[in-house]
Amino acid sequence: GFLAAARYGKDKIRVFRVVRDKDTKFHYIVEYNVTALLEGQIETSFTQADNTVVVATDSIKNITYYLAKTSPHILDPTRFALHLGTHLVSKYAHITKSFITVEQLRWARISEDGIPAPGHTHAFWRDGSEKKFVQIEIDGTNGKNALVAKVEAGLRDLLVLKTTGSAFESFVRDEYTTLAEVDDRIFSTSVDLSYTFAPFAIAEPSDDKKLAFSATNVGKEAETGGAWDGERISALARSITLDVFAHDESASVQATLYKMGQRLLAESGSVQTVRYVLPNKHYIPVDMKYIGVDNTSPYVAAAEVFAPVDAPSGLISATISR
């Protein structure tokens, strides 16, 4: 056999950062789970037990924490990932690619005196299990002066539910079909969304330690409202997902999913592809006919008590491309 591919690094680097604004006295926080992986001229570490080409995964962890302390981009997961990935490829001559994943846990500021904004200066609450993520690749295969970035971002575990405005009818019926057609049902899913941007060039940091990183390093990308403006795109994608889910008279999960993706492409010219993965969260009306109570049909009139069912569940996914 031969070594066809190799990659290594540090996984599950837990980062919590507090940024204190001295003027307003407000504190800002982020909590990240970071994965940082490297590729390059490292094959001999696998094939010849040669550790001289290995940047220790502990060093990768320490670099991540150092940049969490010093990077001006720490509150923006996309920019922080680009900063970290660019530094790793630029610093080590034999490393040609970095792969950075940043998963952000959701914290919200506690309201002050019942007023949601601007909220308490330094108190927060965990706002659900939803997570934002960004995955970036910095490719230095063609040289440190010709770095290319690829960015994918999105969200996971956004749990949504609506009690009407969803139907499922006219599907294939044959000898295996037991599912009844419904013109009104509960629609619930846990949204996993990812979207990609076109690759763009990154200028190598010009300082000796390869730490300096700003909008000038990404050039025109900072002007296009694309990946560098990732927080705005993230907020837009989430808003569109929730709005379409709430207001679409859904003929199926598939049809609603497609409308979500089309709208994000229409409203963000920098997004190239959109992928949704939507598992059905089933809520089954409890049959009470045995005691003379109608709790099954029609849903809007009679069905009010449901049994949540975790498994098995439908799983629908699709990619919509520009």
150-164 confidence digits (pLDDT tens): 999 999 999 999 999
Task: Respond yes or no: is residue 57 known to be catalytic.
Answer: yes
pLDDT at residue 245 in the model: 98
Q: How confident is the model at residue 302 (pLDDT cuts 50, 70, 90)?
A: confident
pLDDT above 90 for 298 = no
% of the chain residues with pLDDT over 90: 90
Beta-carbon contacts of residue 23 (< 8 Å; ≥ 6 apart): none
pTM: 0.94
Can you tell me the distance from the alpha carbon of 165 to that of 27, in angstroms, rounded to the nearest whole number? 41
Task: Respond yes or no: is residue 10 known to be catalytic.
Answer: yes
**Angle 77-91/57-70 helices, nearest 10 degrees?**
130
Q: What are phi and psi of 206, to 5 degrees?
A: -90, -15
Beta-carbon contacts of residue 155 (< 8 Å; ≥ 6 apart): 130, 131, 132, 133, 191, 192, 193, 234, 237, 238, 241
Query: Of 282, 13, 281, which is closest to residue 157 (Cα–Cα)?
Result: 281
Q: What is the mean pLDDT of the chain?
A: 95
CA 262 centroid distance within chain: 18
Task: Respond yes or no: is residue 178 known to be catalytic.
Answer: no
- Report the number of secondary-structure helices (H) and strands (E) in the chain: 6, 11
Can you tell me the distance from the alpha carbon of 55 to that of 40, in angstroms, rounded to the nearest whole number? 11
pLDDT at residue 314 in the model: 94
Is the model more confident about 223 or about 53? Answer: 53
% of the chain residues with pLDDT over 70: 99
Can you tell me the distance from the alpha carbon of 161 to that of 246, in angstroms, rounded to the nearest whole number? 8
Query: Of 123, 121, 127, which is closest to residue 159 (Cα–Cα)?
Result: 127
Joined tokens for residue 60: 């990768």
pLDDT above 90 for 91 = yes
Average pLDDT over residues 294-315: 85
pLDDT above 70 for 65 = yes
pLDDT at residue 114 in the model: 77
pLDDT at residue 180 in the model: 86
pLDDT at residue 299 in the model: 63
Average pLDDT over residues 253-267: 98
pLDDT at residue 113 in the model: 82
Q: How confident is the model at residue 310 (pLDDT cuts 50, 70, 90)?
A: confident
Average pLDDT over residues 168-176: 95
For 101, other C-beta atoms within 10 Å of its C-beta total: 18
Catalytic residue among 10, 73, 83, 131: 10
pLDDT at residue 117 in the model: 81
Q: How confident is the model at residue 11 (pLDDT cuts 50, 70, 90)?
A: very high
Catalytic residue among 121, 273, 282, 296: 282
Query: Of 179, 174, 161, 172, which is closest to residue 253 (Cα–Cα)?
Result: 161
Catalytic residue among 57, 224, 273, 296: 57
What are the angstrom distances between the C-alpha of 65 and each of 96, 116, 210, 250, 257? 22, 32, 16, 45, 38
